[in-house]
């Protein structure tokens, strides 16, 4: 696989002295969807802004499609489209005009057919002559996406595209992302909705306090770091943990009739057999049993927690 | 060279002017008419002709300069300050455009607007006085150079300003006094000697004087000196802009 964006040892210290990125290295593969996860202030927007040319890096290099983002900025920037996190749009221009502006700004000659199709894909064609200030928030978000796509980029950065967007529109957006991926566009998105990353990303990167904690294939990550939980429902509730079960990592549910056992499915001995024997030995009657995988969300929360502890 | 980018920035800025046509073009016309009624006709009828030029006619070049300076500063500074303020500037920063192209688009549009306004004022003035332009090409050269250099200066202010107050402060506190004391409505010969000397430190004197010479060959300082001063000012603005370009001043963190 060839990487389309290659980041090496990137650091950023803002003027005030705050270090927002610490020695980040990352290769983004051609045609993939990469989700960047991280809590508020982790450095996601900073990372994207450097690649797009809005913020100057303090250290390190980034190359896009083999070109350096500073020396060959014209070549790298015309390949990139950016949908910013904030709704930053002019108020007094029409949707059509702002699309034409974006296309021209990125050095492409006018192409009304392409822009018409783009507006239709984003369900904005009816609104093309409307002033931007007369659009709803969700429509403005789509205008931003359209502006980023107006020059037919091969890499698209989406910085929290679904913040403040309803479920319906979010689905539309992911359908659009899927279409773009099919057309060969590489997509990098940041999000706080982990289900989203879980649903559409190929790979997931986790950033916290300016450090890239992991980047991995989504499934591999869930496989490697994922735990399984065995949920045990009891016939009758228990007040406290019986002596015989003290050796197991068990949690009692609030009702007292459910026990949760967390284990690592990749270990040779998961401990389930011993646990079940111990349960019967303690005289507890099992009503139901089922196991669940931990979600990406829990993996993420654990990673960030562990990082916070080691940093503190 | 990203010609398309220059084209869309220029078009965007021009469109902004025509959308607020009353503010952009009507207000300079109205204030010119007012100046003529007050200074040209009411007061001017009691003032002697200066070097055989009637007072009404004498103030025409000064009025044009007054408006061109303030409009160039206002248009160019607002044009770049506003997208910085709203955050829209992200798009220009992430686009494959050089600083020279950005400046050409924004400053070119601001200078064009000032130039159009100057023409409108000259046309309006010709309703009040019998217009006389001895050196039309030199007049145009002065006008265009002034439009460009003060639009550049406005662009610098728009980049430097970190809030709306700073955006207004230089035009109000520096430019307006310099323009009024710069021989817009009088020749500096009318001043006491001390003030004549002080006036020579006012760059606007050279602008107005040279511009006025191209109309009726009446000037406070020699035309050659005036032209050199305008070119010097243009050069200084270009150097500052060049430095801003190199350092990414106020545009990039
Ligand atoms: N212009 C700036 N000057 C100084 N510090 C900044 C600047 N921009 C961002 N920061 C700081 O850098 C850190 C990372 O910010 P960044 O916007 O990259 O976070 P983020 O991961 O995008 O967060 P969020 O999820 O809230 O959008 C934050 O602590 C922020 O305060
Ligand atoms: Mg962010």
Q: Is residue B252 part of a domain?
A: no
Q: What is the pLDDT of residue A186?
A: 97
* Domain total in chain B: 1
Q: Is residue A302 part of a domain?
A: no
Nearest neighbour of B252 by CB, restricted to A55, A74, A104: A55
Of A205, A223, A241, which marks where a domain is finished?
Answer: A223
Q: For residue B86, what are the domain limits? A: 3-247
Q: What share of chain A is helix, strand, coil (3-state, %, to 5)?
A: 35, 30, 35
Q: What is the pLDDT of residue B208?
A: 92
Is A213 in the same domain as A257?
no
Is A118 in the same domain as A46?
yes
**The CATH number of the domain where A231 resides is what?**
3.30.70
Mutate to test the pocket of ligand 1, among A12, A15, A20 (most ligand atoms within 8 A of CB): A20
Residues 32-71 (B) with a CB less than 8 A from some CB of A:
none
Output the tens digit of pLDDT for each of chain A's 312 residues. 579 999 999 999 998 899 999 999 999 999 999 999 888 889 999 999 999 999 999 999 999 999 999 999 999 999 999 999 988 888 789 999 999 999 999 999 999 999 999 999 888 999 999 999 999 888 899 999 999 999 999 999 999 988 777 788 888 888 889 999 999 999 999 987 777 787 889 999 989 899 998 898 888 877 776 677 888 898 888 877 888 888 888 888 888 888 888 887 777 788 888 888 888 888 888 889 888 776 666 777 777 777 766 654
Is A239 strand, coil or helix? coil
Q: What is the pLDDT of residue A309?
A: 66
Q: Is residue A272 part of a domain?
A: yes
pTM, full prediction = 0.85
Tell me which chain B residues have a C-beta less than 8 angstroms from the C-beta of A90.
86, 88
Answer whether residue B25 shows pLDDT above 60: yes
User: Is B90 in CB contact (< 8 Å) with chain A?
Assistant: yes
Mean residue pLDDT of chain B comes to 89
Give the mean pLDDT of B65-84. 92
Asked if residue B72 lies in contact with residue B111, where contact means CB atoms within 8 angstroms, the answer is: yes
Tell me which chain B residues have a C-beta less than 8 angstroms from the C-beta of A105.
4-5, 8-9, 91-92, 95, 97
Q: Is residue B38 part of a domain?
A: yes
Ramachandran quadrant class, B248 (left: phi over 0; alpha: psi -120 to 50; beta: rest): left
Closest CA to A47 of A62, A31, A34, A33: A62
Nearest neighbour of A77 by CB, restricted to B7, B88, B95: B95
Nearest CA to ligand 1 atom 1: B253
Q: Is residue B67 part of a domain?
A: yes
**Cα within 13 Å of Cα(B24), Cβ side:** 21
Nearest neighbour of B252 by CB, restricted to A56, A80, A109: A56
**Which residues contact ligand 1 via a Cβ below 6 A?**
A 14, 16, 18, 20, 38, 40-46, 85; B 253
Q: How far is CA A8 from CA A211, A212, B153, B235, in A?
A: 13, 12, 40, 40
Is A217 in the same domain as A231?
no
Atom nearest to A49 CA in ligand 1: 18
Q: Is residue B253 part of a domain?
A: no
Q: Is residue B136 part of a domain?
A: yes
Is A199 in the same domain as A285?
no
Is A140 in the same domain as A118?
yes
Q: Is residue A304 part of a domain?
A: no
Asked if residue B89 lies in contact with residue A82, where contact means CB atoms within 8 angstroms, the answer is: no
Q: For residue A48, give the chain B residue with the closest CA.
A: B94
Give the mean pLDDT of B188-202. 87
Is A252 in the same domain as A281?
yes
Is A141 in the same domain as A234?
no
Q: Is residue A256 part of a domain?
A: yes
User: Is B86 in CB contact (< 8 Å) with chain A?
Assistant: yes
- Residues sharing a CB contact under 8 Å with residue A168, sequence separation 6 or more, in sequence order: none
Q: What is the residue-wise DSSP string for B50-84?
A: BTTB-HHHHHHHHHHHHHHHHHHHHHHHHHHHHHH
Is A159 in the same domain as A184?
yes
Q: Is residue B122 part of a domain?
A: yes
Size of interface A-B (CB pairs under 8 A): 74
Q: What is the pLDDT of residue A226?
A: 65
* Domain total in chain A: 2
**The CATH number of the domain where A99 resides is what?**
3.40.50.300
Consecutive H or E run containing A280: helix A272-281
> Do A101 and B12 lie within an 8 Å CB cutoff?
yes
Q: Is residue A70 part of a domain?
A: yes
Q: What is the pLDDT of residue A159?
A: 94
Is A105 in the same domain as A20?
yes
Asked if residue B194 lies in contact with residue B188, where contact means CB atoms within 8 angstroms, the answer is: no
Is A145 in the same domain as A254?
no
User: What pLDDT, in 10s, does the model give residues B51-73?
Assistant: 788 888 888 999 999 999 989 99
Q: Is beta strand A250-252 parallel, antiparallel or unpaired with respect to A155-159? A: unpaired
- As to burial, measured by CB atoms within 10 angstroms (0-12 exposed, 13-18 middle, 19+ buried), residue A163 is middle
Q: For residue A197, what are the domain limits? A: 3-223
Alpha carbon of A91 to ligand 2 centroid (Å) = 23
Q: Is residue A282 part of a domain?
A: yes
Give the mean pLDDT of B162-168. 90
Give ipTM to 2 decimals: 0.89
How many other β-carbons are positioned within 10 Å of the β-carbon of residue B64? 29
Is A285 in the same domain as A243?
yes
How far apart, in whole angstroms, are the C-alpha atoms of residue A282 and residue B242? 82
Answer whether residue B179 shows pLDDT above 90: no
Token pair of A107 as six digits: 């050095």
Closest CA to B60 of B122, B136, B110: B122
In chain B the beta strands, taken as DSSP E runs, fall at: none
Q: What is the residue-wise DSSP string for A16-39?
A: TS-EEEEEEEEEEETT-EEEEE--
Q: What is the pLDDT of residue A94?
A: 94
Q: What is the pLDDT of residue B95?
A: 96
Chain B closest-CA separation from residue A104 CA (Å): 5
Q: Which of the residues A64, A105, A152, A153 would you substitute to probe the B interface, choosing the one with the greatest number of B C-beta atoms within 10 Å? A: A105
Is A67 in the same domain as A145?
yes
Q: Is residue A160 part of a domain?
A: yes
> Do A107 and B2 lie within an 8 Å CB cutoff?
yes
Q: Is residue B179 part of a domain?
A: yes
Angle at the Cα of A23 from the Cα atoms of A21 and A28, rounded to 5 degrees: 90
Mutate to test the pocket of ligand 1, among A17, A21, A24, A42 (most ligand atoms within 8 A of CB): A42
């Amino acid at each position: 696989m060839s990487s389309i964006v290659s980041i090496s040892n990137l650091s950023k210290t803002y003027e005030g002295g705050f270090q927002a990125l610490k020695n980040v290295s990352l290769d983004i593969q051609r045609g993939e969807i990469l989700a960047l996860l991280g809590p508020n202030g982790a450095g996601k927007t900073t990372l994207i802004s450097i690649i797009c040319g809005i913020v100057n890096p303090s250290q390190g290099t980034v190359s896009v499609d083999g070109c350096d983002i500073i020396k060959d900025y014209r070549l790298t920037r015309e390949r990139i489209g950016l949908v910013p996190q904030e709704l930053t749009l002019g108020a007094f221009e029409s949707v059509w005009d702002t699309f034409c502006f974006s296309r021209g700004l990125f050095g492409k000659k006018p192409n009304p057919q392409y822009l018409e199709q783009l507006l239709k894909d984003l369900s904005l064609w009816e609104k093309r002559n409307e002033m931007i200030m007369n659009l709803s928030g969700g429509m403005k978000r789509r205008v931003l996406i359209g502006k980023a796509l107006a020059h037919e980029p091969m890499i698209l950065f989406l910085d929290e595209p679904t913040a403040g967007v309803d479920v319906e529109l979010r689905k539309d957006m992911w359908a659009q992302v899927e279409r773009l991926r099919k057309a060969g566009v590489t997509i990098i998105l940041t999000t706080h909705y982990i289900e989203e990353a879980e649903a559409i990303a190929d790979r997931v990167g986790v950033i916290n306090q300016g450090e890239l904690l992991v980047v991995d294939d989504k499934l591999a990550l869930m496989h490697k770091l994922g735990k399984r939980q065995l949920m045990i429902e009891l016939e009758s509730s228990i007040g406290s943990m019986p002596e015989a079960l003290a050796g197991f990592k068990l949690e009692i549910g609030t009702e007292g009739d459910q026990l949760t056992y967390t284990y690592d499915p990749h270990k040779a001995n998961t401990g389930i057999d011993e646990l079940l024997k111990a349960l019967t030995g303690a005289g507890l009657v099992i009503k139901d049993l089922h196991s669940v995988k931990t979600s990406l969300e829990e993996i993420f929360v654990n990673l960030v927690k562990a990082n916070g502890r080691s940093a503190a | 060279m990203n010609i398309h980018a220059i084209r869309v920035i220029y078009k965007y800025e021009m469109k902004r002017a025509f959308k607020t046509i009353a503010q952009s073009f009507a207000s300079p016309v109205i204030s010119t008419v007012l100046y003529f009624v007050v200074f040209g006709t009411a007061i001017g009828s009691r003032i002697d002709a200066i070097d055989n030029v009637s007072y009404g006619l004498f103030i025409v070049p000064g009025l044009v300069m007054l408006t061109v300076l303030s409009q160039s500063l206002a248009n160019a500074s607002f044009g770049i300050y506003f997208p910085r303020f709203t955050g829209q500037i992200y798009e220009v920063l992430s686009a494959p455009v050089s600083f020279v192209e950005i400046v050409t688009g924004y400053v070119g549009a601001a200078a064009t607007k000032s130039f159009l306004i100057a023409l409108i004022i000259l046309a309006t003035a010709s309703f009040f006085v019998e217009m006389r332009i001895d050196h039309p090409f030199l007049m145009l050269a002065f006008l265009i150079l002034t439009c460009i250099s003060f639009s550049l200066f406005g662009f610098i202010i728009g980049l430097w300003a970190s809030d709306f107050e700073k955006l207004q402060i230089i035009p109000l506190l520096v430019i307006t006094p310099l323009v009024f004391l710069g021989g817009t409505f009088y020749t500096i010969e009318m001043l006491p000697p001390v003030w004549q000397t002080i006036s020579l430190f006012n760059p606007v004197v050279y602008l107005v004087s040279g511009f006025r010479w191209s109309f009726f060959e009446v000037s406070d300082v020699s035309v050659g000196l005036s032209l050199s001063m305008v070119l010097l000012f243009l050069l200084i603005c270009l150097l500052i802009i060049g430095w801003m370009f190199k350092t990414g001043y106020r545009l990039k963190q």
